[in-house]
Structure 1
Amino acid sequence: MVISKLRRILIGSPLSSNNQHHNLIPKWKALPVLAADALSSVAYATEEIVIPLALAAATIPFATHWLLPIAGAIVVLMFIVSLSYRETIQAYPEGGGAYTVVKENLGQNAGLVAGAALLIDYTLTVAVSVSAGVENLVSAFPSLAGVQIFFCIWVILILMTLSLRGVSESATVFAIPTYFFVISIGILIFKGFWQNPHENINPIVDVMQTNYPEIGLILALKAFASGCAALTGIEAVSDAVPIFKNPKAKNAKATLMMMAFLLASLFFGISYLVYAHNLTHVEGVTLVSQLNKLIFGGGVFFYVFQIAVMLILFLAASTAYADFPRVASLLAKDRYAPRQLASIGDRLVFSNGIIGLSVVAIGLIIFFQGRTHYLIPLYAVGVFLSFTLSQSGMVIHHWKNRKQGWKFSIALNGFGAICTAVVLCIVATFKFMHGAWIVILVIPTMVYIFHRIHVHYVMFAREISQSHYNAPISEKVTEHTVIIPVSGLHLGVMNAIRYGMSITHDLRICYVKTDEESYQRMLTAWNEKFPELQLHVLESPYRSISSPIINFIDKVSQEKPTEFVTVIFPEFVTAKWHHQLLHNQTAWLIRLSLLYKKNVIVTSVKYHLTTT
């Protein structure tokens, strides 16, 4: 098959389950896969702080000078959350992150809320990072603005294909661009500091005293809520501990703290340079692009840096592709999500979760026109909700187990829970009308859907369980009725009739009469070939094919309501796969209609064509 060959080319040959240990990755590979989301926020988090400050600058003097204290507060919060998640990794080395922690310590309902928040977070990670990456590309090459959405979709499809190849292979591909970005940002910050711009900085204390507390606090909280996008992705390492090589927990903790250090350094360095050069938001040109052009001019490094930023933003989605399928699989194993999400694909990854994530992310890109600023308000609510629930769950975990150092751990996770809860309230309040209401509405909706899925699986298991199976089993073979819908007489139909006659004496051939001329031809051919068989002619004055056949099947079923009725469809199998699109469409629709009919068995007799 052409599809199978294409599949092998794109995602590779299947891997044996025995190769599972070969799919584990070392720290140097895990960092780019799991930290790309967090590190990519350096490209847009500072700008998200500046946007509300810049809008207020016309009426509030020095409003943009709140950037540094706000960025500093966010850096402090980064380390609080990172240290808290370090405790999570130690306590839950099997992974699962917020969903597992919350489910085991705060109950299943709270766990479902955390699970919903994580799934939303990871979906938005793909949409935000890809759209931000394309925006940076458009900043360097404005002529691409017209194909921005199209470009976003193709990037997601490429990332999906790489992720389907497996964690180990995709990690190798993602490593080079991620480290390239870190080095590029480091060079930018170093040269920015080397140029010594800090003599332009107004005293921060004077600025705060000028604007605080009358209006400055509200403005600062709005900017802080926007800038908290910098913390997205910090939880990724704790969700993906199982993909690390042994010792898993130790390697995961080291990766988490390295990520926190890099993120804090790069984020605050960019914020400082933006503040020092008094840059502000300009529509259509990202703040990082402005800073790049100011420090390096329009030379080669300007384009090299923009490409580095673009690539890290694209690869930030790799974090979501590593963690979304894993969280979805945990929900599926607990029977709160479709069980297909728990299936491991050919390449030892959760293929269905990867594909589902891509489809939803593409939908978000199209709906929000690929605009990062429109997507960001949806981003932070789910992130900080999962932060808060996870740290609260860890407090209960330490209290129940009371292992060595439990008091310090409770204090650390408790303080982390309080901080993230406060931030959650700030984000939900100031971003509510900007789109946060969507997430606040979607999370309980998802939890309700989780419960309905669970009820279905529980009732399904109960109904098909052998202990409840009391249907009578007949000792003798029951004669059943076979129906064969035909549209004419040809080798495919004659094969089906021959098969039908071999399995029953009650064979009913039905033909839908849509016009007199075709009917007369069919009748002549029928009487010539099968004079001993009755042809049931179904009138169809409105030329419908499906309805008369379904009505005929219903009528036959009512004759013997306790017996089985078999419907046989003659089916062509063409020599070339794409020719199949030209055949069997009506039969497919009728089969779909018969799906929920009781005691109706649907099968097909295939006739293989050999000509092109």
Structure 2
Amino acid sequence: MLNVAVSVAAGVAALTSAFPGLLPFTLWLCLAVLALVTAVNLKGIAHSARAFIAPTAVYVGAIMLVIVAGLVRGEPATVAEHAAQAGNLHTVGVLLVLKAFANGCASLTGVEAIANAVPSFRKPRVRRAQNAELALGALLGIMLVGIAALIEKFSIAPVGGVTVLAQVTRAALGDGPLFYLVQFSTVVLLALAANTSFGGLPVLARLLAADNNLPHLFALRADRHVHRYGIAFLTVASAMLLVISDGDMNLLVPLFAIGVFVGFTLSQAGMVRHWVGARPAGWRWRAALNGFGALLTLVAAVVVTASKFAEGGWLIVVALPLIVLAMQWVNRSYGRIGERLELGRTPAPPRPRRSVVVVPVHAVNRLTREALAAALSLGDRVVAVNVTHPGNESEARRFVEDWERWHPDVDLAQVFDAHWRLDRPLLDYLNGLPEAHVFVLIPEVEPEHAWQRMLQNQRGAVLARALRRRTDTVVCRMRLRVADHATAAP
């Protein structure tokens, strides 16, 4: 979630650096970019990957152009700030080095996306993912070192409302068309960097749901190879983060870095445990490599948390344990449900039992006729129940007369309630039935147009909710579609 929020905010920051007049609309631009990326991902992971190839190639080429042009340009005049910075480095010493190390590690975030999305690769998945990781590492190293060299060469310092990359680009290429090309490609690429989470989080959520650590809703896979519930949750949560931070990247990055480093440390420690337990050939050096990586990322996590604690880092410190506790609670809940469902045990063979179908009715019309016809094919006995008020004796008597005139060969039970309730009288009637299996068939009108739903009284929804919460009856909601006269069937 933080990766999506940071990526979108960073992309918009690059846009406002090129066009300062857009700065007041930062939040709306962030939400618009988030909506666009979400729409592309809802078309499917494979479709979104193909759509992002061209912007990625343009961005990499543009950054390489900036690096080459910046290195070729003549050396700028030495500024006085360099001497002061060197003095500060000597004074602060280890603390500054640790903080620089931690902040520098933030540049490496994102490489885990390939590992998280291995199931999305074509076979052989592992080999393709390894090749992609190597290519990503090489490009990342070249661009990171090149930009860092230009920052040093051109004496770039943070400026409010302008990104560091925009300053580097202007120093290397000037204010011409190439500057705007780099900025636009940066906008697109940083916004699309959020795609790593859109590809990874639904897969991760599905695995967690399969282990009963998240609601099973996240394990549902919709059309086009995309997990829509995971994507919807990710979009809503990221939008909330952007709104809370007002689209300010500087407020989101510390939270993002802490979460990433904690994840890195846990995953590396998990790999050490894996190597020690499996002990394949060469497991010692692999365990040592992962252990050293876990140590480095642990140091980075501690340093970033300590230095950014008052600036919002405390939120991650509080949120991570709460997320773990919530997952444990979900897991225990599924465990209790599994015990009641006798999962893992072979149940006794099913046997038919006497059943009754109860149909709530309030008028003699086509809807009632269709509901009773369906009920007669479901159970051994059908009973129509009419709930009315003692003060409406004339209306109740008229309904009985209409029923007897119609004569549908179905028993009618009229229940009176002094409090004008719909659910309680029906519940009391159902509790007195002798049959083991009780079906309740609720007839409803399905309007032809969506706007016509506001015209309905929601009687069926009220009854269905009460029956599911307070009884063991099988609730069926039969909808009769009402079409215009021109299109209605004869």
TM bracket, shorter-chain basis: 0.7 to 0.9
Alignment check: 8 A CA contact 1:225 1:431 kept = no
**Partner residue, 2:408:** none
Question: Which residue matches 2:222?
Answer: 345
Cα distance in 2 for residues equivalent to 1:211 and 1:369: 33
* 174-183 or 402-411: bigger deviation: 402-411
Q: Conserved in 2, the CA contact under 8 Å of 1:127 and 1:361?
A: yes
> Structure 1 residues 219, 593: closer, same or farther in 2, change over 3 A?
farther
Structure 1 window deviating more from structure 2 (563-572 vs 383-392): it is 563-572
**TM-score using structure 2 length:** 0.86
For 1:161, give the aligned amino acid: A
Q: Provide, for residues 335-362 of structure 1, a one-character-per-residue CA deviation record: whole Å limited to 9, x for no partner.
A: 2122232233221233332222222212
Measure the CA separation in 2 of the matches of 1:298 and 1:212: 33
Matches of 1:403 and 1:471, distance apart in 2? 45
State the AA in 2 paired with 1:265.
Answer: I
| Contact preservation (8 Å) 2:364, 2:403 | no
Q: Counterparts of 1:6-405 in structure 2 under 5 Å?
A: 123-197=1-75, 200=78, 210-212=87-89, 214-405=91-282
Say whether 1:595 aligns with 2:468.
yes
**Residue deviations 1:197-218, cap 9 Å, x none?**
36527797x6676224543544
Question: 1:270 Cα shift?
Answer: 2.1
Choose which of 492, 501, 507 in structure 1 pairs with 2:367.
492
Equivalent pair of 1:225/1:430 in contact (CA under 8 Å): no
Structure 1 unaligned runs (5+)?
Answer: 1-122
Q: Equivalent residue of 2:156, what SS?
A: coil
Question: Secondary structure, in 3 states, of the residue corresponding to 1:606?
Answer: strand
Change (3 A) 1:466 1:337: closer
Residue 590 of structure 1 and its aligned partner are, at CA, apart by 3.5
Question: Relative to structure 2, which stretch is displaced further, 345-354 or 194-203?
Answer: 194-203
C-alpha separation in 2, matches of 1:602 and 1:572: 16
Within 5 A, what are the aligned runs for 1:502-513? 504=381, 506-511=383-388
Letter in structure 1 aligned against 2:191: F
- Which of 352, 358, 361 aligns to 1:482? It is 358
Q: Which protein has greater RCO, CA pairs closer than 8 Å, 6+ apart?
A: 1
Shift of 1:472: 11
Distance in 1, Cα, partners of 2:126 & 2:350: 55
**1:482 alignment partner AA:** V
| Preserved CA contact (<8 Å) 1:137 1:307 | yes
CA-to-aligned-CA distance 1:499-522 (integer Å, 9 cap, x gap): 567853543211468xx8xx5884
Tell me what 2:441 maps to: 568
Judging changes above 3 Å, is the alpha-carbon distance between structure 1 residues 176 and 459 closer, same or farther for their aligned structure 2 residues? same
Asked whether the equivalents of residues 571 and 584 of structure 1 are also in contact (C-alpha less than 8 Å), the reply is no
Instruction: Measure, in 2, the Cα distance between the counterparts of 1:471 and 1:410.
Output: 50
Query: Structure 1 CA distance, aligned partners of 2:382 and 2:128?
Result: 70
Q: Look up the equivalent residue of 1:327 and give its one-letter code.
A: L
Q: Is the 8 A contact 2:14 2:187 kept in 1?
A: yes
1:415 aligns with 2:288: no
Larger deviation, residues 193-202 vs 232-241? 193-202
Report what 2:417 is aligned to. Answer: 538
**1: CA distance, partners of 2:372 / 2:130:** 68
- C-alpha displacement of 1:249: 3.0
- The structural deviation recorded for 1:187 is 0.9
Secondary structure of the structure 2 residue equivalent to 1:596: helix
Shift of residue 146, structure 1, vs aligned partner:
4.2
Separation of aligned partners in 2, 1:203 and 1:530: 95
| Contact 1:162/1:170 (<8 A) preserved | yes
- Report if aligned partners of 2:44, 2:226 keep a CA contact under 8 Å in 1: yes
Aligned-partner SS, 2:384: strand
Deviation digits for residues 356-386 of structure 1 (CA, Å, limit 9, x no counterpart) = 2222212222222221111111111221112
Tell me if structure 2 keeps the 8 A contact 1:131–1:152. Answer: yes
Deviation at 1:393, TM superposition (A): 2.6
Q: Structure 1's 201 and 395: CA in aligned 2 closer, same or farther, altered over 3 A?
A: farther
Secondary structure of the residue that 2:225 maps to in structure 1? coil
User: Tell me, what secondary structure is at the counterpart of 2:105?
Assistant: helix
Q: In the aligned structure 1, how far is the partner of 2:277 from the partner of 2:348?
A: 48
- Superposed CA deviations along residues 217-273 of structure 1, whole A, max 9, x for unmatched, are 444544544443212112122222333344433332232122122112212322332
Report the number of matched residues.
477
Instruction: Show the 5 A alignment for 1:451-466.
Output: 451-465=328-342
Residue identity matched to 2:468: L
Deviation at 1:317, TM superposition (A): 1.0
> Is contact 1:165–1:347 with CA below 8 Å preserved after alignment?
yes
Q: Distance in 2 between matches of 1:429 and 1:153?
A: 31
Residue 288 of structure 1, CA deviation: 1.9
1:39 — aligned with what?
none
8 Å CA contact retained: 1:241, 1:248: yes
What is the distance in 1 between the residues matched to 2:113 and 2:152? 30
Structure 1 residue 446 displacement after superposition: 1.4
For 1:184 and 1:469, locate their aligned partners in 2 and report how far apart those are by CA, in whole Å: 63
Moved more, 337-346 or 577-586: 577-586
Which digits, 9 at most, give the CA deviation of each residue in 1:390-433, with x for residues without a partner? Answer: 22232333334444433332332222122111111111211222
CA distance in 1: counterparts of 2:463 and 2:25, whole angstroms: 41
Q: Is the 8 A contact 2:118 2:129 kept in 1?
A: yes
**Deviation digits for residues 545-594 of structure 1, max 9, x if unmatched?**
7xx11221232244359855543322112233443453353422432233
Contact 1:484 1:508 in 2 (8 A): yes
- The amino acid that maps onto 1:304 is L
Whether the aligned pair in 1 keeps the contact of 2:376 and 2:382 (CA below 8 Å) is yes
User: Match for 2:325 among 440, 444, 448?
Assistant: 448
Distance in 1 (alpha carbons) for counterparts of 2:184 and 2:319:
35
Paired residue for 2:303, among 422, 426, 441? 426
SS of corresponding position for 1:279? coil
Structure 2: distance between partners of 1:144 and 1:310: 13
The answer to whether the Cα contact below 8 Å between 2:56 and 2:189 also exists between their aligned partners in 1 is yes
| Paired letter, 1:256 | E
Change (3 A) 1:481 1:138: same
Inter-partner Cα distance in structure 1 for 2:327 and 2:450: 38
